[in-house]
Amino acid sequence: MYADNTSLTFASADLNRLSDRLNYDLDRVFIWLSANKLTLNLSKTEFMLVASRQKLSALSETPSFSINEHPVLQVSSAKSLGVHIAKRLLLL
């Protein structure tokens, strides 16, 4: 059995809250997977911050995420169900 394209989404203006919440959720996902004898391909696990150019440039630091002490790689674009998503939101 395969489960593909799972994503966690969280919105917050507070970067510390965002980091704490997503790391908590990632821990819970890992526990659930382990309890159900499932594995996560950590080499394909990644995260992306999505915001306007101004908000991204105003960040003093980038949050870090990990699963079972394995760091999650940050990317600048992703594809989900055939839709390409870039980290910078363009205002038209």
User: pLDDT digit string (tens) for 9-50?
Assistant: 888 888 889 889 999 999 999 999 999 998 888 888 888 888
Q: In percent, how much of the chain has pLDDT > 90?
A: 21
pTM for this prediction: 0.76
Least confident of 43-47, 50-54, 61-65: 50-54
Least confident of 22-26, 28-32, 72-76, 82-86: 82-86
Q: In percent, how much of the chain has pLDDT > 70?
A: 89
Helix (H) or strand (E) holding 51: strand 51-52
Residue 56 is predicted with a pLDDT of 78
**11: phi then psi, degrees, rounded to nearest 5:** -120, 135
Domain ranges of the chain: 15-89
Of 85, 62, 72, 81, the C-alpha closest to 41 is: 72
